[in-house]
Amino acid sequence: MYRLTCILFIFYLCVQTVNAKEIDLATFETSPIGSYLTYFSEKDNQKLSLEDAQQYFASGPTFSQSSQTIAKGFNVDSTWFKTSINNSMSLSNQYRLSIEIPWLDYIDVYLVSPSGEVKHIVGGDHLPISEQPVFNRFFAADMQFENGVTDLYIRIETTAIMPVPIKLSSVQDAIADYGADKFEYGFLYGILVALALYNLVLFFSIRKKIFGLYVLYILGFVLNSMSYTGHFYTFYTSHHGVHFQDYMDVSLMITYSVIGLHFGRKLLDTHLYAPNLNKAIANISNAIPFIILFLFIMDQLHLATIVAFLFNTSFAILTILLGVLAVRAKASAANFYLISSVTAAICVSVSTAAVAGFLPYNSFTFKAIELGMAFEGIILAVALATRFRDAQRDKERAEEHARKDELTDIFNRRGFKYATSLLFPQFKQNNENFALFLLDIDKFKLVNDKFGHATGDLVIIQVTRLLDETMRPEDVIARWGGEEFIVLLPVKDENEALQLAENLRIAIENLDTQYFDESVKITTSIGVSITNFNGPNQLRSDTEIFEKVISNADNALYQAKANGRNAVCMFNSEDINSNNDEEQNVHNTSPILT
């Protein structure tokens, strides 16, 4: 009961059945005139004439508000407004009356002069823009007032939401305000379109769906904003009936909200940690357009508008919920998304509430959604870049992990091919010779059989450490598989390659691995091949040369083992294209040690 009493008291303060004061042009400055207006709504769809309205204002109950803008909310009964304008100083200035909402269907303005003469001005979006009193994104009409008191009557009829921001200003002030208004909207739209175009380029470059959704979301909002602010109306002058803009406003509002929810789900990977909510949002988002379409078909524009506003408000709430859950799940870009969602939700709620009549309607509350969306667009672009960067890092880590041997943490076969592909252009540019060592631990199976696989793994690790210590920083080392290792290194000539291989063989022979009190000794066989990119190799691809030099080293390794192991054998690479039997090109370059 107490709460109801408070509500009624507030309503009494805001809406009172009293006559509003008249406007005195001598002291009046450009401003909304909501507080000067009295009004009433027609009942039972009975359209009143001017004479009927004059009688009602004289005898019937009327209302006035203390706020500068009257917002009728979802009450769309046709409404009459009245005020009186006193031109006691006989000012000859031109004034502009504007109603700064573009989707009002029928607007009738009556000026009743002190002599009783009536001037009737017609506007509203039932007329094409070419037939409006003033070319503008909303209704505007220029007028002069005779000496004395002129009564101003305005009748508005619409099936959409009815905020009534009526403003009276000098023509000069109106033109200046319109210029500033265009600059503000142009600046906000410019930011959003630039972000959309940038991400469109990224979408076509890397083919990631999330960038396409961002573009559709941002452009969807821009189109929606241009529609309900009337900018679209000023350059798309084709006239498709009185309710065309209403249908367009509702459709675009739903479109950008639906795309926004899909974008949020995709950006935050909601299906990974909130699958039920993710599915529910997807189903609702997919169903809402069909609900709106059904209401359009059933000619329920007013109900469709209410559903669109409710869904738009729910959209703001759902984006915050998605952001909170994403932060809890530590999803990539979650913090950015939550900040942008909260800011945008506040701004959307302010604009929606102002249009619906729950908050004062003014320039700030009406444009709050554009300001919030510009901020959200920038933050979401940062979030998108952060998510992409994190994804790229994860991909790079995964690729790096895939190129490393798990036991030794050096390159595996895949990693070795990747590393050499980066070195080959350098070898070509510098005209360098390079050698390839293929090492195989002799009789490694006996080590595993006698001492166990754990000791075998320890031997592999120690050989890896020895390779790291023995070889030079520019040499590429990899585990080729099992007990085989491979090394790619730049060399001046065969003598340098053989000397390095021999040093390596000796170091491994001296390697001592302890198994309890017993010493584990190993030896290795090394096949060496050397080549460059000169001569016939200039006509070969990198892959062909790579495969050929490995094949040659493998043949040299085979020969080293056939000769008794613990040896270095060089493949005769004087002519890599030689058709001679490959075994004849293999030379033992170190004594056979058994």
Q: Which residue has the higher pLDDT, 425 or 238?
A: 425
Q: Is the pLDDT of residue 333 over 90?
A: no
pLDDT in tens, 556-567: 999 999 989 999
pLDDT in tens, 209-258: 899 999 999 999 899 888 888 888 777 656 666 677 788 888 998 998 99
DSSP letter for each residue of 482-505 = TTEEEEEEEESSHHHHHHHHHHHH
Of 456, 567, 465, the C-alpha closest to 520 is 456
Question: Please, which pLDDT band fits residue 437 given cuts at 50, 70 and 90?
Answer: very high
Q: Is 564 helix (H, G, I), strand (E, B) or coil?
A: coil
The answer for residues whose C-beta is within 8 angstroms of residue 134's C-beta and 6 or more apart is 96, 140, 141, 142
Q: How many CA atoms lie within 13 A of 329 on its CB side?
A: 19
Query: In this structure, what token pair is assigned to residue 99?
Result: 């109603």
Chain centroid offset of residue 397 CA: 24
Q: Is the pLDDT of residue 528 over 50?
A: yes
* pTM of the model as a whole: 0.67
pLDDT in tens, 9-46: 333 334 444 455 789 998 888 888 888 999 999 988 78
Q: How many CA atoms lie within 13 A of 3 on its CB side?
A: 0
The average confidence (pLDDT) of the chain is: 84
User: What is the amino acid identity at position 453?
Assistant: H
What is the percent of the chain with per-residue pLDDT over 90, rounded to a whole number?
39
The whole-number pLDDT of residue 161 equals: 67
Cα(289)–Cα(307) distance, integer angstroms = 11
Cα(326)–Cα(416) distance, integer angstroms = 39
Q: Is the pLDDT of residue 197 over 80?
A: yes
Q: Which residue has the higher pLDDT, 290 or 578?
A: 290
Q: How far is CA 548 from CA 419, 487, 568, 571, 583, in A?
A: 17, 15, 19, 11, 15
Rounded to a whole number, what is the distance in angstroms from the first to the last CA of the chain?
104
By the 8 A CB rule, do 485 and 572 touch?
Answer: no
The whole-number pLDDT of residue 583 equals: 41
Query: In this structure, what token pair is assigned to residue 42?
Result: 């027609």
For residue 456, the 8-state DSSP code is H
Q: Is the pLDDT of residue 376 over 80?
A: yes
How many other CB atoms are there within 10 angstroms of residue 26's CB atom? 11
Cα(526)–Cα(521) distance, integer angstroms = 17
Cα(227)–Cα(364) distance, integer angstroms = 18
pLDDT in tens, 341-371: 899 878 877 876 776 667 776 677 878 888 8
DSSP H or E stretch at residue 546: helix 542-562
By the 8 A CB rule, do 332 and 386 touch?
Answer: yes
pLDDT in tens, 265-295: 998 999 999 999 999 999 999 999 999 999 9
Q: Hey, what domains does the chain have and what are their CATH numbers? A: 16-173 (2.60.40.2380), 175-396 (1.20.1070), 413-588 (3.30.70.270)
Q: Is the pLDDT of residue 430 over 90?
A: no
Q: Is 195 helix (H, G, I), strand (E, B) or coil?
A: helix
Query: In this structure, what token pair is assigned to residue 3?
Result: 């709460």
User: What are the residues facing 143 on neighbouring strands?
Assistant: 95
Question: Directed axis angle between helix 171-206 and helix 209-228, to 10°?
Answer: 160
DSSP H or E stretch at residue 168: strand 166-170
Q: Mean pLDDT, to the nearest integer, of 409-438?
A: 86
